[in-house]
């Protein structure tokens, strides 16, 4: 029982070293994942300490810091793998293409829905939509919604300012919502 108390006392006395390294590395440790890694590193340093090599405190600081850096690197690799998996999933299992202008991914309208579709209803919807809009507003719908171009790309292609393209978009949204086309919120 004395050994457990010594371990707990040792950890309690030295836990500030871990917090210091977490702060120095600017780690956001809400879940205390890094603190736990620091505790393991500190205990390993204590077990592997060789007095003839230098002070224990220096060795613990070195071990804790390197363990935290390794954990950060490992987390970055896992995040990269997760992003690649999510992208591959979108490519393999979802129709259409994706665009992310505001940080939120959403499905764009499939080009086949407009051209070459067997559904006359889809064509009719697009004819009605086009009839409500000016030529410039329709260009915005065609390029942004259907083809997935960015607003900057549209501005460059049409040789107008980005502000003008955003104005077209604003008018399209206003017109479509005024006629009750609420289902277009996902696309606009």
**1.25.40.10, 1.10.10.10, 2.40.37.10, 3.40.50.720: CATH of 106-186:** 1.10.10.10
List the pLDDT tens digit at each of the 188 positions of the chain. Answer: 345 557 788 888 888 999 999 999 888 888 888 899 999 999 899 888 898 989 988 999 999 999 999 888 887 766 666 676 666 666 665 555 555 555 444 445 554 544 444 445 566 677 777 888 889 888 888 888 777 788 888 888 889 998 999 888 888 888 877 776 655 544 44
29 to each of 19, 72, 78, 151, how far by Cα in Å? 10, 11, 17, 38
Paired with 99 in beta bridges are 106
Q: With CA atoms as reference, report the closest residue to 62 among 32, 41, 43.
A: 41
Distance between CA atoms of 61 and 22, rounded to whole angstroms? 11
Domain ranges within the chain, ordered by starting residue: 2-93, 106-186
Distance between CA atoms of 10 and 5, rounded to whole angstroms? 8
Kindly tell me the burial class for residue 141, based on how many C-beta atoms sit within 10 Å of its own C-beta (0-12, 13-18, 19 or more): buried
| Residue showing tokens 């090599």 | 53
**Inter-residue contact 187 to 168 (CB < 8 Å):** no
Model pTM? 0.42
């Amino acid at each position: 029982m004395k050994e457990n108390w010594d371990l707990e006392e040792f950890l309690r006395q030295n836990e500030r070293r871990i917090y210091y390294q977490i702060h120095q590395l600017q780690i956001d440790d809400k879940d205390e994942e890094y603190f736990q890694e620091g505790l393991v590193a500190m205990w390993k340093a204590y077990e592997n300490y060789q007095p003839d090599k230098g002070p224990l405190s220096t060795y613990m600081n070195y071990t804790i810091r390197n363990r935290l850096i390794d954990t950060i690197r490992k987390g970055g690799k896992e995040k990269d793998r997760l992003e690649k998996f999510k992208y591959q999933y979108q490519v393999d299992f979802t129709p259409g293409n994706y665009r992310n202008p505001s940080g939120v991914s959403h499905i764009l309208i499939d080009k086949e829905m407009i051209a070459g579709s067997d559904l006359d209803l889809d064509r009719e919807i697009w004819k009605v939509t086009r009839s409500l809009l000016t030529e410039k507003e329709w260009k915005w719908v065609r390029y942004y919604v259907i083809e997935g171009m960015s607003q900057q790309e549209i501005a460059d292609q049409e040789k107008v300012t980005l502000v003008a393209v955003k104005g077209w978009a604003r008018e399209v949204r206003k017109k479509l919502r005024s006629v009750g086309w609420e289902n277009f919120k996902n696309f606009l």
